[in-house]
Structure 1
Amino acid sequence: MLPPTGKKHRTPPHPKKTTTCGYIGSPRATSQAPGPAPNHPHYGVPRATQTPQAQAGLPPWGARQHPDTMAQGQHHHPCQSGPATWLRASGHHPRPQAPGPRPHSESAENLGVMIDDQLTFKDHVTSVARSCRFALLNIRKIRPYLTQHATQLLVQAMVISRLDYCNALLTGLPACAGKPLQMIQNAAARLFFDQPKRAHVTPLFIELHWLPLAARIKFKSLMLAYKVLNGTALIYLNALAKAYVTTRSLRSSQDCRLAAPTPRLRQSKLFSCVIPRWWNDLLSATRTGASLSIFKKLLKTQLFREHLLS
Structure 2
Amino acid sequence: MEACVQDAKAWLCDNGLVMNNNKSQAIVIHSSSLRTPTSLTRVNICGQLVETSPVIRDLGFNVDANLTMTSQVANVCRSAYYHLSRIANIRDSISTTVCKSLIHGLVTSRLDYGNAILYGISDRHMHRLEMVQRSAARIVRQIRRGDRQSMTTILRQLHWLPVRKRIDFKLLVLVHRAIYNGTPEYLAALLRRHTPPRSLRSAGGLLLEVPRVNLERFGRRAFACAGPTLWNKLPRNIRDNSNITQFKKQLKTLLFST
Q: Quick check: 243-252 or 174-183, which moved more? A: 243-252
Residue in 2 that maps onto 1:272: 224
* 1:171-250 pair list within 5 angstroms: 171-199=119-147, 200=149, 201-246=151-196, 249-250=199-200
Identity, % of aligned positions: 34
Q: Deviation of residue 286 (structure 1)?
A: 1.1
- SS state at 1:218 partner: helix
Q: Of 117, 121, 128, which aligns to 2:69?
A: 121
Matched, 1:298 2:246: no
> Residue deviations 1:238-285, cap 9 Å, x none?
233222234555422221111112222443343322221211111111
User: Given residue 236 of structure 2, which amino acid in structure 1 is its aligned partner?
Assistant: S
Question: SS at 2:212's partner residue?
Answer: coil
> Alpha-carbon deviation of 1:103?
7.0
Alignment of 1:1-310 (within 5 A): 104-199=52-147, 200=149, 201-246=151-196, 249-266=199-216, 267-306=219-258
Whether the 8 Å CA contact 1:164–1:216 is kept in 2: the answer is yes
2:251 aligned partner, one-letter code: L
Counterparts of 1:234 and 1:103 in 2: how far apart (Å)? 32
Q: Could you state the TM-score of these two structures normalised by the residue count of structure 1? A: 0.63
1:104-124 residue CA offsets vs partner (Å, 9 max, x unmatched): 431111111011111111101
Tell me the distance in 1 between the aligned counterparts of 2:146 and 2:58.
36
How many Å separate the matches in 2 of 1:195 and 1:214?
Answer: 23
Q: After TM superposition, give the deviation of residue 235 of structure 1 in Å.
A: 1.6
1:104 and 1:225 map into 2 onto residues whose CA distance is: 33
The aligned amino acid for 1:202 is T
1:50 — aligned with what? none
Q: How far off its partner does 1:178 sit?
A: 1.9
Say if 1:172 and 1:271, in contact at 8 Å, map to a contact too: no
In structure 2, distance between residues paired with 1:300 and 1:168: 16
Read off the aligned partner of 2:252 and give its amino acid letter: K
Structure 2: distance between partners of 1:133 and 1:180: 11
Shift of 1:202: 1.3
Q: Helix, strand or coil: the match of 1:233?
A: coil
Moved more, 118-127 or 100-109: 100-109
CA contact (8 A) 1:172 1:270 kept: no
Partner of 1:88: none
Question: What's the C-alpha RMSD, in Å, of the aligned pairs?
Answer: 2.0
Decide whether the 8 Å contact of 1:229 with 1:242 is kept in 2.
no
How many residue pairs match? The answer is 207
Q: What is the alpha-carbon distance in structure 1 between the residues aligned to residue 125 and residue 240 of structure 2?
A: 32
Runs of 4+ in 1 over 3 A off after TM superposition: 100-104, 246-250
- Determine the C-alpha separation between the residues in 1 that align with 2:51 and 2:109: 35
Distance 1:173 1:218 in 2: 12
* 5+ long unaligned stretches in structure 1: 1-99
CA–CA distance in structure 1, aligned partners of residues 190 and 125 of structure 2:
23
Once the two structures are overlaid, the 10-residue window that deviates more, 157-166 or 262-271, is 262-271
Greater percentage in helix:
2
* CA–CA separation in structure 1 for the residues paired with 2:106 and 2:156: 21
